[in-house]
């Protein structure tokens, strides 16, 4: 009986050891499942990060494309401003030439008026009317050129302001 008891005791010990091994195996299986779950989560996160990276890369390229476009617009705007300034200087030069011509014509007219007054006769009344009409015409021409020049300067200033505002808005936007 003692042998049976020793065998039973050994069997009981072996059963306890087997139960402990089974618990350790079960624990290892549970840890493995948790690790697999974490691996799946990491894979999903990695996929999400890859998608986000692709989106950000696309946004970066779009921003670079827009920046290159804005640089081109800025260069063209500068050329346009330079061209407009040259045109304005040309118009101012023409206006100055017209004014000088009108001053010379006015001085000639005044001289002729003085000469006319020195030798007034009734037949020269028509000539006086002609000179007076020419004087009025020249004064109107000066006024027209002055208004056109002012309008052009205002238009250019407004256009330049709008272009620079658009450039500022597009850079901040």
pTM of the model: 0.39
What is the H or E stretch that residue 140 is in? Answer: helix 125-172
**pLDDT of amino acid 17:** 92
* Whether pLDDT at 72 is above 70: yes
Q: Which fold has domain 73-172?
A: Helix Hairpins (1.10.287)
CA atoms lying within 13 Å on the CB side of residue 111: 6
The domain limits of the chain are: 73-172
**pLDDT of amino acid 53:** 94
The pLDDT of 88-103, averaged and rounded, is: 91
Going by C-alpha positions, the residue among 7, 132, 54 that lies closest to residue 140 is 132
Residues 173, 67 contacting (CB under 8 angstroms)? no
Q: pLDDT tens across 22-64, in order?
A: 999 999 999 999 999 999 999 999 999 999 999 999 999 999 9
Instruction: Give the C-alpha separation, 124 to 87, whole Å.
Output: 44
Residue 173 binned pLDDT confidence (cut-offs 50, 70, 90): low
């Amino acid at each position: 009986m003692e042998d049976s008891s020793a065998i039973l005791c050994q069997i009981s010990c072996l059963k306890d050891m087997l139960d402990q091994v089974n618990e350790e195996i079960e624990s290892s299986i549970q840890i493995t499942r948790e690790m697999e779950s974490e691996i799946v989560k990491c894979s999903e996160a990695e996929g999400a990060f890859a998608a986000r990276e692709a989106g950000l890369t696309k946004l970066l390229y779009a921003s670079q494309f827009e920046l290159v476009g804005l640089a081109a617009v800025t260069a063209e705007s500068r050329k346009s401003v330079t061209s407009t300034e040259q045109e304005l200087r040309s118009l101012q030069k023409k206006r100055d030439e017209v004014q000088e011509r009108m001053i010379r014509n006015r001085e000639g007219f005044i001289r002729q008026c003085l000469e006319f007054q020195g030798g007034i006769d009734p037949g020269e009344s028509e000539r006086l009317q002609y000179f007076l009409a020419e004087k009025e015409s020249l004064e109107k021409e000066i006024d027209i050129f002055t208004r056109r020049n002012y309008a052009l300067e205002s238009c250019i200033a407004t256009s330049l302001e709008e272009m620079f505002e658009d450039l500022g808005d597009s850079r901040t936007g």
